[in-house]
Structure 1
């Protein structure tokens, strides 16, 4: 009897302890949820404080194995890192966030994560990956059950797809189409919903986009009308809705560019200075670069030398810093993409080996079965042998499968019958490496050659030459020269101080061996000699 009482007492104590622990964890989870909600509100006013608070919530969630807290904090961290221009961090977080969201069947988080992943790819210049992720986001957004959430999320994604097409220069058709889709969806959101602020944020953003489109089409009166409409929404935000300041920075930056193009330099400086003032509180380095460029060009045009020197130094320092950061991010990203591609290749190879192994087993079993039947069905022996494929046929089939997975690139330097067979994986790998090479500006090195570049990219010169010819449409020398001339054109347009340098110095910067060679290639690429090109830029100042 005493033993039973002791057992009962121990059981009671164990259950009491487990219940208290469960309640304790539940309370911790509630605290994490509240902290994430606070961070979400704080993100629009104090981005850094929200980030610090979210990182603590995320660490606690991981420590407690609280998956929902980890998912929610990850998703908001992706948003803040995107705002701060840390696209590498966004991509690093996306894998785990998507994995958690799939387990929870949370289509809102899935749509947001794919969207931010796609936008980060776009910022890093990987446009094909970007569009793929945005369409994944759109598919998941349409599965959201709550109408207001569904309409809002699809509107945001349509807006992002419009931006993607805008960046590719497709203003008249694709961009306008997706802007209209975005506005159409957001207008379905009720004014009483929790998305009221975001609804007007999208409307303001799309007004700005229309302003940019019309300014590109030289319809300046309509463009300014849309810019002012967008600005008024931000000015009245305290009355009807609260809009984030970081997007007002973008609007003012775009207005600065618009007025600069109209030679209304005082208005351009006014807008850019307002943007710079807000950007100090909500740092966005890539937009700061645009703001500084507008201020630099505007002050140069009105011959304010002290101001132009000040902003020139600030612009050059920031530009160099962004290039270093971007280079590191792209290198890490490309390594990850190549690693994923290699893993997929290994998986495919393993799959082929397994299939071939199974085929061999089946053939072996068929032969055994045939031999057993032979004793009883001697007359049908020859027919059975004909049904079974012989080794040559199997080898031919394997060769056909392998051939279907390769790309034949014609070698135009030899006879038309001669072709080089390059696997799809090798082509994609070399193209990714070429993209990295172009962004690294290594083509500016004077000693660059087909042999040295192929060694650097870990491929052979013949493959590299044919892929450049097939995908870039140029010989190796023309490809390198084209990159060098484009670099000089960009730097002459973006940094006025380079227009004062000697042609021989520009030739050295671009990697050419002499002034004469540089002048010949420049004229071949642009149709004019470098001196004339620079003189025309100075006239337009």
Structure 2
């Protein structure tokens, strides 16, 4: 299953400011049912996440054990709706699960089973499984989706029946577990005659299931015919486009399994065109990843590289979007907590007008002070980052000059030794040979010492120099399989001696030692805009040997005091000047 799930994640637009204090005060008076509907309307429009969260927060804060069962049920639905906002709008999975936990707790306390809670659990765990390649979480997501399907079937909630089962079909196929749906499939087929409100969706799920069953048995041509039939019948509009995209992706997979990568590419290119036309932005990352693989099979490496470049760029855009969403969330929640505290305090006072004016005044002051503090902190942070950046540039420049000087010194020393050897008289040759023999003997003696980990200063100095020479070879250290054993082999020593020298001389273990060199090389590449300016942060990370972007960011911050994005931004700013 791709990231394109049926009736799945929206691509929300950030909007801040709809939840103003005056609205908050007015919404406080609304009945719980009205608050829930207003919040759901805000959540569904995709641009007023803060207003939706305000409505749901007011609602769930009314919960107490003394409430009647009907009111508790509405609060449980409010918590479930909060999960939707946290998950789809702010990408905050921990808060989404926390909200679901409270909704589940309330529903159990009143003895009411809520299919929506199970389906939201399924969305969260399936997404976590997809993003982290965590099979356990993916299976848990399928389990919850099936619970949602069975629960919704009992109460004839056809929307959840179709959404849950449709997502389960694709997720099970992806994990090679389509057979686990056999019993539920028989029950689902019966809904065709009972479910008149969502008959179109039911028909799509049935065709999807049948086509994927054909795929699992290797009957790709028969599956492709179903995909083509669905695509031909499906209207090209906003409400149906995701169905078409799903079928195009599976059609491409079928062609690829048949070895016909030309047609697989053609199907994916149409999928890309439709995604752009209807602005289904969450589909781009999957499209470019799959296309890159198909172009590789065709030997079209230029197009493969182009797709990977788009893939990494979209990943960066999504990451930046998620960071912006979470910053917006923190800002909103902080202000909302202050507003709630003020509203709770002034509610106890008699004059309603004075209460409203005081709340508005306090909010205005908070916003003003917060803005002032944020602006001032941003200026200080920018100055501090600039200072750190300049220091890092100077350090790298100094180390480069030191390295060149050391290489020059070694070259001169080598020439001097050659000249001295040539000037020696025949009578001295025996003396020189004797010294060389003595040196060799010392080397053998040192080898004996190495066996007992008793390195003398000369041994250490020689080993340190060799280690430095290897670590300055970026082709070697930027290989993602470079290890301490490989380093020991290259310097002609043993692992334990190399480890000992690194620990004693540089005060760190091999992993930290290697990461320091790789981060310095990453800084050089980020600074070399002419050569590496087209690469994303993730591509830079991979090019210097890091397998994980998060590890790269952590180590970059440790070494330089800046994130890679901050460092790149300042580099490009200097480059433009």
User: What TM-score results when the alignment is normalised by the length of structure 1?
Assistant: 0.44
Higher relative contact order (CA 8 A, sep 6+): 2
User: What TM-score results when the alignment is normalised by the length of structure 2?
Assistant: 0.41
